Amino acid sequence: MSHRPRKRFGQNFLHDPGVIRRITEAIAPRPGEAMVEIGPGQGALTCELLPRLGRLDVVELDRDLIRPLAERCGSLGELRIHQADALKFDFRPLAPGPHALRVVGNLPYNISTPLLFHLIDQIEIIRDMHFMLQKEVVERLVARPGSHAWGRLAIMVQYHCATEMLFTVGPGAFRPAPKVESAVVRLVPHDTPPVDVDAARLKRVVAQAFAHRRKTLRNNLRGLLEPEAIAALGIDPGLRPERLTLEQFAALARALDGQERGSGDEGQG
């Protein structure tokens, strides 16, 4: 398939047969499963998945890849191509029911984080996700509290999913070769979130807490939660946000919830 990779689409096409095989084995596709591939590109992974599934949806932004992709992979099963921007795509119609859609892809580095948040907004339909990402992004997804990589991405994704780095992939597996290492990650939505908290409140607290990574909770949460309210939870307001666990962020979010509900009650009195 002759196609010049486009930098504006973040295109690095996977071509290493060994890596393609490892990814396919990690996904373990079965006939009849509902699956969507984001950014199929030249179809390296598509051609492995489609015959195992029988039917596959793919979302591809680059219109110049649509016809070659159909010609290369279309005879291997029912290939349904959606020419669309995955960041704006509604994945819900592809799911036959709750927690039923499997999502895979070699994601462009320049959209990986916003795309993960876009998918989390539709988490109720997703069974699991397998992605090839920049290794640094995967390290952020699987990070633990106290590490430099622990931040907004890790906290919000781990609230919704169990995360696991499966293996790393060198630049030579792609054409053109990127300047960074890649890694494959598995994300499996929790049956029940690991902490009891309103997701929107948690998202708000975490976003503000990490607005300035080098500043303390006292400074970052000013106007949202006072230092006394933070300390009342047994959390030192002088800590930087990366020192807190998911449960501690949940405690802050619950405190904000109680505070705002209380002020609302007072306003009604």
pLDDT of residue 267: 52
pLDDT of residue 265: 56
pLDDT confidence of 61, banded at 50, 70, 90? very high
Helix extents (H) in the chain:
17-27, 46-53, 66-73, 112-120, 135-141, 152-160, 199-209, 217-220, 227-231, 246-268
Token match 């029940």: residue? 192
Do residue 123 and residue 249 come from a single domain? no
Do residue 139 and residue 170 come from a single domain? yes
Phi-psi region of 130 (alpha: psi -120 to 50; beta: other; left: phi over 0): beta
Q: Of 109, 112, 94, 6, give the one whose Cα is nearest residue 57.
A: 94
Q: Angle at Cα 108 formed by Cα 176 and Cα 22, nearest 5°?
A: 75
- Residue 183 makes CB contacts below 8 A (sequence gap 6+) with 132, 133, 134, 135, 138, 139, 165, 166, 167, 168, 169
pLDDT confidence of 205, banded at 50, 70, 90? very high
Phi-psi region of 171 (alpha: psi -120 to 50; beta: other; left: phi over 0): alpha
Give the pairing of strands 126-134 and 101-106: parallel
Per-residue pLDDT of 152-167, as tens digits, reads: 999 999 999 999 999 9
Between 258 and 83, residue with greater pLDDT: 83
pLDDT confidence of 1, banded at 50, 70, 90? very low
Do residue 133 and residue 17 come from a single domain? yes
pLDDT confidence of 3, banded at 50, 70, 90? very low
Q: Of 201, 114, 202, 102, give the one whose Cα is nearest residue 158.
A: 202
Q: What is the CATH number of the domain that holds 204?
A: 1.10.8.100
User: Do the beta carbons of residue 119 and residue 87 sit within 8 Å?
Assistant: no
User: Do the beta carbons of residue 41 and residue 13 sit within 8 Å?
Assistant: yes
pLDDT of residue 154: 97
Per-residue pLDDT of 161-189, as tens digits, reads: 999 999 999 998 888 787 889 999 999 99
pLDDT confidence of 15, banded at 50, 70, 90? confident
Predicted structure pTM score: 0.90
Per-residue pLDDT of 100-129, as tens digits, reads: 999 999 988 889 999 999 999 999 999 999
Q: Which two tokens stand for residue 59?
A: 């979302």
Does any domain span residue 2?
Answer: no
pLDDT of residue 259: 85
**Number of structural domains found in the chain:** 2
Do residue 164 and residue 96 come from a single domain? yes
H/E run at residue 175: strand 174-175
Residue that is last in its domain, among 189, 209, 226: 189
Q: 3-class DSSP state for residue 115?
A: helix
Mean pLDDT across 233-254: 98
Phi and psi torsions of 237, nearest 5°: -65, -10
pLDDT of residue 11: 52
How many residues comprise the chain? Answer: 269
> What is d(CA 39, CA 232) in angstroms, rounded to the nearest whole number?
47
pLDDT at 2 over 90: no
Do residue 178 and residue 207 come from a single domain? no
**Cα atoms in the 13 Å half-sphere on the side-chain side of 220:** 22
**Cα atoms in the 13 Å half-sphere on the side-chain side of 78:** 8
pLDDT of residue 78: 98
pLDDT at 269 over 60: no
Does any domain span residue 54?
Answer: yes
Do residue 121 and residue 19 come from a single domain? yes
> What is d(CA 36, CA 102) in angstroms, rounded to the nearest whole number?
6
Q: What is the mean pLDDT of the chain?
A: 92
Residue that is last in its domain, among 189, 224, 250: 189
